[in-house]
Structure 1
């Protein structure tokens, strides 16, 4: 897998997590811990994307 395709895959995962966070925040009685975990995963992906993009 090339670096650019890997970065694109990470971006897709980041967008999926973003959608999940939005859905969870809109849902009544949503679990704050679950939302926090999704946001943490999203941030890790963003940092990885930035790290790979700078290194390219």
Structure 2
């Protein structure tokens, strides 16, 4: 998932460099990237217990 997240970041950066980039595609890529970030955070929360000291 982290690799896909990084790849999306690269794709967004490459698309932003284009003089006429597709705003809809950019929005979809950013939305997918945010969704992946949330999924990664959720899985990490399951793996790392929240210990109150």
Q: TM-score normalized by structure 1?
A: 0.82
Tell me how far apart the structure 2 counterparts of residues 32 and 26 of structure 1 sit (CA, whole Å).
Answer: 12
Q: Which structure has the larger Rg over C-alpha atoms?
A: 2
Superposed CA RMSD in Å reads 0.4
Tell me how far apart the structure 2 counterparts of residues 14 and 29 of structure 1 sit (CA, whole Å).
Answer: 24
Quote how far apart the aligned CAs of 1:46 are. 0.3
More helix as a share of residues? 1
Q: Tell me, which stretches of 5 or more residues in structure 2 are unaligned?
A: 48-53
Quote how far apart the aligned CAs of 1:43 are. 0.4
Moved over 6 A (4+): none
Q: Report how many aligned residue pairs link the two structures.
A: 47
1:45 aligns with 2:36: yes
Tell me how far apart the structure 1 counterparts of residues 29 and 5 of structure 2 sit (CA, whole Å).
Answer: 10
Q: Tell me, which stretches of 5 or more residues in structure 1 are unaligned?
A: 1-9
Matches within 5 A, 1:10-49: 10-49=1-40
